[in-house]
A and B are shown apart, each in its own frame.
Chain A
Amino acid sequence: MERAINRQRILLDHLQPPPSSSAPSPLSASVCLAGDSAAYQRTNVFGDDVVIVAAYRTALCKSKRGGFKDTHADDLLAPVLKALIDKTSLNPSEVGDIVVGTVLAPGSQRASECRMAAFYAGFPETVPVRTVNRQCSSGLQAVADVAAAIRAGFYDIGIGAGLESMTINPMAWEGSVNPKVKIFEQAQNCLLPMGVTSENVASRFGVSRKEQDQAAVESHRRAAAATATGKFKEEIIPVATKIVDPKTGEEKPVTISVDDGIRPNTTLADLGKLKPVFKKDGSTTAGNSSQVSDGAGAVLLAKRSVAEKKGLPILGVFRTFAAVGVDPAIMGVGPAAAIPAAVKAAGLELDDIDLFEINEAFASQFVYCRNKLGLDPEKINVNGGAMAIGHPLGATGARCVATILHEMKRRGKDCRFGVISMCIGTGMGAAAVFERAGHADELSNARVVGTNSLLSKDAR
């Protein structure tokens, strides 16, 4: 028997020479896509992953009446940019680009304001700044653009941000409309007020007023609970600013650190009394629509290898992003199209997603998307959404990144993948998949099967 073992050893050495020799072993484990019939593609820690180092936001305040009504837009952006640098001790000159999502403000003026905000925040002149506008998903688009640029190798560290002061820049149309628009129904539908598209979604897909009001109540309840338990303290950067008393004209310095649109005691009965705004017999009211707000958010992204080398914290991993177009007349259905696209691109299934942050532009579209995708309400907007917290158009995407990643961090191991999505005016949806840091699949072609139903997920 000893002889047989010896023979085996000698033959085995021919196949896998002992590593004592100078050359490396010819056999090594490697990741492959073939995989087993696992629910999701095996992901691992790779040096070229794009990771989120930090994500912060300002409080969101009601426009014209809230805490930021007398605050310049650049004064909203500068504190969050500064916070990224201060809290990570990163040398600001190492940032390759700052991309700001912004929607309503005049393009060139806002680009200048953002550049100025970078100077206020202490960035050197060498760090470039640009803006991006994909309507309500501009903040998320900014983050995705930075992630794409890092992946492309343009730079290793970048900031994706979002900014909106709806006090200063209300929704408006400048100049005349091209009369040609009448020939193109879809183009004409781009001109529909957002509230009308909400009514279209509600009537076309049969979302009742009660369901919508219910969603609004839940949003306020969750946001109030999150605020009360201090959950938002980790993501909100207090902004020192001023408030002018509209009657006396008296200026008062204040520090804004709490969202001011949340109404903890909102009830179904209260909301039921509100009149529809966009259609006489409609269902979209001020109570079940997103709030008009001011605010900003910023996300610091980096290549993983660089982040690790510099000792930067890693909050999460940016996995995928998708933007998909839909019918402009029912633009609110965007997330129902974009979420599956982004999740699929990540090699995942909807069931694998532990947390969703779906922007509540209107309760109608939010409820529709939730039901359409068959999502568990307990996984969506667990800390409330735009109906309670507010929806500063350009900032919302960046705000959601901060909210979801901090919530995923709190939830720990049970929460691996998170999805952010929003509908986009003129008929689009955007979605992005994030992974909590600290998750890595071992290099293995076998895995522990908890409950064995003897059928793979693929077999369903």
Chain B
Amino acid sequence: MPAFKTPFNGYSVKFSPFYENRLAVATAQNFGILGNGRLHVLELSPSAGPSPTPVSELAAYDTADGVYDVAWSESHDNLIVAAIADGSVKLYDLALPPSANPIRSLQEHTREVQSADYNPVRRDSFITSSWDDTIKLWTLDRPTSVRTFKEHAYCVYGAVWNPRHGDVFASSSGDCTVRIWDVREPGSTMIIPAHEFEILSCDWNKYDDCCIVTGSVDKSIKVWDVRSFRVPVSVLNGHRYAVRKVKFSPHRQSLLVSCSYDMSVCLWDYMVEDALVGRYDHHTEFAVGVDMSVLVDGLLASTGWDELVYVWQHGTDPRAP
């Protein structure tokens, strides 16, 4: 499967929930520390058999600061939310000409925005999390955020909606906790001190609405049941540096993917004893973005600081031409 070279360092990659061959990539110049950013929308040419399928760039949007994350709208196939390092949240419409984009720039976070997640149930809203220790809830019809969730004591690296309940989301933070929130409640409904070190990512199981996974600077991945969160359901060890992102499979209940500062992308089955299903060492720099396609079973995408975006079928070599 093809690799795509981005001019800047990759930060995040997401498959479109509408088109199986489309994906968005968030990148930032100079490793996201200083400089501009660029949001790429890539199109995989429909593959016909084993022939090489080149990747083409459908659109690219430049930003004044690094793009740390990207999320596809669940309601409009052309709508993209981008989390920008300067604290802004920008909306892009692929149907409009580049000059009309971004269609909106929401400037409320006071520091870097690291994650954006579109509500898959109530498809008009999304959340963003930021290094300003807050999570913000937005809807498309409002120019300002609906609500700010401020409880974490340090950077909030990730916030994801529960796939079943449109009001529930989880957030992972550098204060070493994961918090579960219900937007109808005034405060967080649950605090899980999941790791001894910063928690860089979390995700909900797509088949079990009580199951979450966390990835931490302590190099481990833990699977939790929010109904009994004193001990993790499973601890997955194998990464040699901090785990940057974890994500449950949309197709298999016990399968999850992770990427790490150790430059590898790993697939895990947390229900079996030999949990590590596969390890991909194709990146030559920190692997910071990974996604699994909802529309094609087993299709993976990853990006990293080596400025490369890989798309491959699980079990095949990402670097194979």
Q: Which residues of A contact B (CB under 8 A)?
A: 3-4, 7-8, 10-11, 13-15, 17, 21-23, 26
Contact = CB atoms under 8 A, between A and B. Distances in A.
9 tightest A-B contacts by CB? A4-B34, A14-B242, A7-B33, A17-B197, A17-B217, A4-B33, A21-B196, A23-B196, A14-B217
B219 A7 contact: no
A389 B155 CA distance: 77
A23 B217 CA distance: 11
A22 B196 contact: yes
Contacts, number: 41
B288 to A, nearest CB: 10
Interface string B1-20: 00000000000000000000
B197 A21 contact: yes
A11 B155 CA distance: 11
A14 B242 CA distance: 6
B197 A23 contact: yes
B217 A13 contact: yes
A14 B198 contact: yes
Given A14-B198, A15-B261, A22-B196, 17 more contacts: A3-B34, A4-B34, A7-B32, A7-B33, A7-B85, A10-B174, A11-B31, A11-B32, A13-B174, A13-B217, A14-B261, A15-B241, A17-B218, A21-B197, A23-B196, A23-B197, A26-B241
Contacts of B219: 26
A26 B241 CA distance: 9
- Give the one of A7, A14, A17, A21 with max B CB within 10 A: A14
Contacts of B32: 7, 11
Contacts of A4: 33-34
B118 interface: no
B204 interface: no
- Give the one of B131, B196, B197, B241 with max A CB within 10 A: B197
B291 interface: no
Given A15-B241, A17-B198, A21-B196, A10 B155 contact: yes
B307 interface: no
B200 interface: yes
A16 to B, nearest CB: 9
Contacts of B176: 21
Given A22-B196, A23-B196, A15 B242 contact: yes
Interface string B192-236: 000011101000000000000000011100000000000000000
A13 B34 CA distance: 18
B117 interface: no
Contacts of B217: 13-14, 17
